Amino acid sequence: MTDNDEEPSQAEGSGSPIEFYFDFSSPYGYLAAHKIDSIARLYGRAMNWRPILLGVIFKTTGAQPLLDIPIKGPYTRRDMERTARFLGLPLVFPEVMPFPSIAAARAVYWVQDRDPEKARELCLALYDRAFAQGGDIREAGAVLDCAVEIGIDRDALAAALQDPAVKERLKTENEAAMAAGVCGSPFFVVDGEPFWGADRLDHLERWLATGGW
Amino acid sequence: MTDNDEEPSQAEGSGSPIEFYFDFSSPYGYLAAHKIDSIARLYGRAMNWRPILLGVIFKTTGAQPLLDIPIKGPYTRRDMERTARFLGLPLVFPEVMPFPSIAAARAVYWVQDRDPEKARELCLALYDRAFAQGGDIREAGAVLDCAVEIGIDRDALAAALQDPAVKERLKTENEAAMAAGVCGSPFFVVDGEPFWGADRLDHLERWLATGGW
């Protein structure tokens, strides 16, 4: 307890961390990343940022990338742009979508083991490069450029991206995500309750506010 | 203008009708039906209730019923129940899901050509039978039972369900829906803008309130 009556208080940090699963190639994941970051702070919850590879998960669920599906593809592109405007966030599509996000995901886990707050910064920087600026973050070089801008050591990260242990780490995380029921991006788990989609942030926020319903 | 300052006024009825596409087998369609009915009245918009057959559309989009998909299926069932509680609506799943909804859809178009307001009533009655009570509306007999309860002539509707013109009508409507870009249920079109999902009612309502953004 503090003398500050404002609530919810960021300082309290009650409850388990919000698990946030996302693919760097997912525009809805980018939109949700900014929102969940604010929501977590507002409700004083820690967050685990967990990049995943949807392509691997889609092999199990049989899903295709949304933008490639007849009829759904054009609708989805329009919905992504409308949702960005609805949420007040910039959105510029990169040239290639979906794109391979394996280097970005590996980088995040390596940074996270050393400095979780820096990993959060890296996630937002990579997402913004891809979807606020429409940039290309497919190759290791582009990921390293982003990392250097927020003070991460380029050579150490470059070496890590080639490290079999780091590659294995992402594989393990992806398998754990699938085992936890993650079927898309963004996907959240709050106190055991799963929420799939940027369009479930309303449910998630009410869940945090009320403890469930 | 009236002496009544309350707004938006139902009496004004400005703007084109809200096109509401749905499959009677869709739980999210049931939840959305109640909400869109209230929203349309609030904003003084007419509505076109357009039952469709998702199975036919899924042949084009390559989609599977959500509940049958690995990992997504169990999540979706949980999300449907949580969404119902979020919206304050009862939800009881019928024994078979998804179920054939062809008789229900044909009945609605036949009634609609005679009495659009009665068709709206029939849509809500059929949906409630299926998802508020967990009942079975697959067979023509069950559809007729629902129809009779709201004052529709049983024998006339029974004959209509066998009429080749009524069968053709549903086929034409389904093709028109696909041509209009309908890729799921529920699906709405407001002044040319498409909205897919019960989770886009927030976008739709803001669109009605602001004229788009």
Query: Which of A181-190, B52-61, B178-187 is least confident?
Result: B52-61
Which pTM value belongs to this model?
Answer: 0.90
Whether residues B78 and A182 touch (CB distance < 8 A) is answered with no
Parallel, antiparallel or unpaired: strands A47-51 and A18-22: parallel
Could you give the angle at which helices A102-114 and A154-161 cross, rounded to 10 degrees? 120
Whether residues B181 and A71 touch (CB distance < 8 A) is answered with yes
Instruction: Pick the closest to residue A182 from A190, A192, A172, A174 (CA basis).
Output: A174
Whether residues A60 and B83 touch (CB distance < 8 A) is answered with no
Report whether A18 contacts A35 (CB < 8 A).
no
* C-alpha span between A34 and B177 (Å, rounded): 35
Integer distance in angstroms from the first to the last C-alpha of chain A? Answer: 26
Nearest by CB to residue B72, choosing from A61, A200, A203, is: A61
Digit-coded pLDDT (tens) for A96-136: 999 999 999 999 999 999 999 999 999 999 999 999 999 99
- CB proximity A6 to B under 8 Å: no
Three-state secondary structure call for residue A190:
strand
* C-alpha span between A46 and B207 (Å, rounded): 35
Report whether B67 contacts B77 (CB < 8 A).
yes
Report whether B33 contacts B202 (CB < 8 A).
no
Instruction: Pick the closest to residue A136 from A28, A22, A25, A23 (CA basis).
Output: A25
Give the Cβ contact number of residue B199 at 10 Å: 21
Across-strand partners of B50? B21
Digit-coded pLDDT (tens) for A53-65: 999 988 887 888 8
Report whether B142 contacts B94 (CB < 8 A).
no
Nearest by CB to residue B69, choosing from A61, A85, A196, is: A61
- CB proximity A74 to B under 8 Å: yes
Digit-coded pLDDT (tens) for A13-57: 568 999 999 999 999 999 999 999 999 999 999 999 999 999 998
- Fill in the DSSP letter of residue A113: H
Whether residues B199 and A194 touch (CB distance < 8 A) is answered with no
The dihedrals phi and psi of A48, each to the nearest 5 degrees, come to: -105, 115
Nearest by CB to residue B79, choosing from A70, A74, A196, is: A196
**pLDDT above 90 as % of chain B:** 83
Query: Is the predicted ipTM greater than 0.85, yes or no?
Result: yes
| CA distance to partner chain B, nearest, from residue A77 (Å) | 12
* C-alpha span between A123 and A162 (Å, rounded): 20
Interface of A with B in 191-210 (CB under 8 A): 194, 196-197, 199-200, 202-203, 206
Instruction: Pick the closest to residue B47 from B198, B185, B190 (CA basis).
Output: B190
Examine the pLDDT at B143 and tell me if it is beyond 80. Answer: yes
